[in-house]
């Protein structure tokens, strides 16, 4: 009988494992997959952070708009008791505003002294109950200080009204030492994420010079 050899059987010296080339190819593929997974996770985290930052910025805008509208609408032309007869307690500067207003119910619902200003990169609100003692314009208690917005690059107030009794009303960068309140107040804020829509609010009480 003529014999034959079985070619499918492994030779005594053959190895049953992977070759070095196969191992290197597998490691390279694993490395690529790992990099791809890390990149996807990183992009997901960055995207989530951006969404969170955008949500926080939008909430800052809404909260600032609500408070600004409430305070300016309820501004009171109290006398400033500074010796300038007839002047109201409303001091408007390009980057700060100080005035008397009816506070929100959460802050007592009474007359308060309000100051809005920029402190470094934040929009700050400082509010306190107004001391109603004669010849004084000061706080009757502690000052509540809160940051309305972060990462503020520029803060601008403008005041609409006539500079003189016979002049036409226009926007002005300052309003102080006046016997009347402005017809409207505009707040413009620029943050690191861009400019907010301008907020324009009219006081409910109109005063005549």
- CA 204 → CA 73, 100, 108, 138, 181, distances in Å? 5, 13, 20, 23, 11
For 81, left (φ over 0), alpha (ψ -120 to 50), or beta? left
How large is the C-alpha radius of gyration of the chain? 34
174 phi and psi angles, rounded to 5 deg: -145, 155
**Residue 109: per-residue pLDDT:** 66
Q: What is the pLDDT along the chain (209 residues), one digit of tens a residue?
A: 445 445 444 455 555 566 776 666 667 776 777 766 665 656 555 555 555 556 766 787 888 888 899 999 999 888 876 655 568 889 999 999 999 998 877 666 688 899 999 998 999 999 998 887 766 678 888 899 988 888 899 999 999 999 888 889 999 999 988 889 999 999 999 998 889 999 999 998 866 55
pTM of the predicted protein model: 0.70
pLDDT attached to residue 74:
92
Distance CA 171, CA 147 (A): 27
């Amino acid at each position: 009988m003529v014999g034959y050899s079985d070619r499918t059987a492994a030779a005594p010296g053959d190895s049953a494992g992977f070759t070095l080339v196969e191992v290197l190819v597998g490691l390279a593929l694993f490395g690529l997959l790992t990099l791809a997974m890390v990149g996807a996770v990183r992009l997901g985290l960055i995207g989530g952070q951006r969404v969170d930052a955008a949500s926080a910025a939008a909430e800052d805008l809404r909260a600032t708009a609500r408070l600004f509208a409430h305070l300016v609408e309820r501004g009171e032309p109290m006398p400033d008791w500074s010796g300038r007869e007839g002047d109201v307690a409303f001091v408007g500067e390009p980057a700060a505003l100080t005035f008397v207003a009816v506070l929100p119910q959460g802050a007592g619902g009474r007359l308060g002294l309000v100051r809005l200003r920029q402190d470094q990169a934040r929009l700050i609100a400082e509010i306190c109950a107004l001391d109603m003692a004669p010849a004084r314009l000061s706080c009757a208690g502690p000052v509540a200080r809160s940051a309305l917005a972060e990462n503020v690059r520029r803060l601008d107030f403008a005041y609409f009204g006539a500079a003189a009794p016979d002049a036409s009303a226009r926007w002005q960068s300052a309003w102080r030492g006046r016997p009347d309140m402005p017809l409207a107040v505009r707040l413009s804020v620029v943050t690191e994420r861009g400019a907010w829509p301008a907020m324009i609010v009219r006081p409910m009480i109109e005063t005549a010079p």
